[in-house]
Amino acid sequence: METRALGSQGLTVSAQGLGCMGMSQSYGEADEAGSVATLRRALELGVTFWDTANVYGDSGPGGFGANERLLSQVLADRRDEVTVATKMGIEGIAPEGAVRFRLDGSPDNVRRRCEESLERLGTDRIDLYYLHRVDPETPIEETIGAMGELVAAGKVRYVGVSEVTADQLERAHATHPVTAVQSEWSLWTRDLEAEVVPTARRLGVGLVPFSPLGRGFLTGALSGRSFDGGDSRSRMPRFTDENLAVNEAIVAEVTAVAEAHGVRPGQVALAWVHAQGEDVVPIPGTKRIEYLEQNVAALDVRLTDDELARLDGLAAKVAGGRY
């Protein structure tokens, strides 16, 4: 596995990471044993940049924080091999079983949630600590300032932000150097390209796309499928029956390119993300070894200029918003 410099602050990570959220929530029932096996296989393949969050796990065993505890099972004897990224800022609330969320970027919460994550992960430092979402009630300078204090204390190595605007990224970086910005980026979600990507590159901030496979849609494996209430896609506009029917045309285009290379559609979708720059490190998520191996193989897919141009136009054809 090749490595990439993520941002200009000194962090080096595997060229492709692993999004771990789906191991504990959002995409059906959790499979702890299978997920641990996938994490260990990731290490064998050199996928050592793992992404989690303090709030991941609401539908899995153990509730909020379950995903960090899951990772701790492997980190216990392999900690120095892994670059661990986790997050704070989204607070999970589950009154009477109805999961809700609120935002809290207050300095006290930054410090409290960091200590909790360190304990759940079973480690003494977080390699990359993200502000998961900006709290509108707390100036981002206060949140990032508190995260910078954690760096000074040795509890965090690098600071990141997630789903920010270009202005918020500027303000955050002026408070404490930001190493990475994590946002949704894929063939069918291109929002950050207009302002966030140019700003990040001017500031020397790395780019970490989440959901680079369109929450599985761009793999072609979801054709004709419906989603129950235990799957977060059941509440997303792009996955309604009427929008799915329109969006299938996008998968058909990706599939045509994949067939020309003798690979799978998801590998083409990932190859497109990788082709966006050396400062881009996607974190496709999976809890299955089979899909992990497919994702890693996407690093060997080289798209032609004509193919990239063909794929670039697909976002304009998407039916339905992200949320």
Q: What pLDDT shows up at residue 5?
A: 97
| pLDDT classification of 30: cutoffs 50, 70, 90 | confident
Q: What pLDDT shows up at residue 44?
A: 98
What does the angle CA 129 – CA 134 – CA 140 come to, to the nearest 5 degrees? 85
Q: What pLDDT shows up at residue 159?
A: 98
Greater confidence, 323 or 122?
122
Q: What pLDDT shows up at residue 224?
A: 59
Asked if the model's pLDDT at residue 322 lies above 90, the reply is: no
User: Over pLDDT 70: what percentage of the chain?
Assistant: 89
CATH 3.90.550.10, applies to 3-317: no
Q: State the Cα–Cα distance between residues 40 and 32, nearest whole angstrom.
A: 12
pLDDT in tens, 99-119: 578 899 999 999 999 999 999
Q: Pull the structure tokens for residue 228.
A: 């129950």
pLDDT in tens, 145-184: 999 999 999 999 999 999 999 999 999 999 999 999 999 9
Asked if the model's pLDDT at residue 252 lies above 80, the reply is: yes
Q: Can you tell me the mean pLDDT for 243-268?
A: 91
Q: Pull the structure tokens for residue 32.
A: 């702890």
Tell me the backbone φ, ψ of residue 183, rounded to 5 degrees: -145, 160
Greater confidence, 244 or 157?
157
User: Could you tell me if 208 and 17 are in contact, meaning their C-beta atoms sit under 8 angstroms apart?
Assistant: yes
Mean pLDDT of the chain: 91
**Amino acid, single-letter form, for residue 49:** F
Q: Pull the structure tokens for residue 45.
A: 């393949």
Greater confidence, 138 or 214?
138
Greater confidence, 298 or 244?
298
Asked if the model's pLDDT at residue 230 lies above 70, the reply is: no
Q: What pLDDT shows up at residue 11?
A: 98
Q: Pull the structure tokens for residue 81.
A: 């091999």
**Amino acid, single-letter form, for residue 4:** R
Cα–Cα nearest to 258, from 315, 322, 187, 321: 187
Regarding beta strands 11-14 and 3-6, do their DSSP bridges make them parallel or antiparallel, or are they unpaired? antiparallel
User: Could you tell me if 93 and 102 are in contact, meaning their C-beta atoms sit under 8 angstroms apart?
Assistant: yes
Residues 6+ apart with CB under 8 A from 298: 16, 263, 266, 267, 268, 269, 270, 271, 274
Cα–Cα nearest to 227, from 240, 214, 237: 240
Cα–Cα nearest to 244, from 188, 313, 310, 312: 188
Residue 274, beta-bridge partner list: none
Q: Which residues of 135-149 are buried (b: 16+ CB within 10 A; e: fewer)?
A: beebebeebbebbbb
Per-residue DSSP letters for 155-195? SEEEEEEES--HHHHHHHHHHS-EEEEEEE-BTTB-GGGTT
Q: Can you tell me the mean pLDDT for 56-77?
A: 83
Residue ranges covered by each domain of the chain: 3-317
Q: State the Cα–Cα distance between residues 261 and 309, nearest whole angstrom.
A: 16
Asked if the model's pLDDT at residue 54 lies above 70, the reply is: yes
Q: State the Cα–Cα distance between residues 103 and 111, nearest whole angstrom.
A: 15
Does the pTM of the predicted model rise above 0.85?
yes
Asked if the model's pLDDT at residue 320 lies above 90, the reply is: no
| pLDDT classification of 26: cutoffs 50, 70, 90 | low
Residue 100, beta-bridge partner list: 93
Asked if the model's pLDDT at residue 19 lies above 90, the reply is: yes
List residues with catalytic annotation: 56
User: Over pLDDT 90: what percentage of the chain?
Assistant: 75
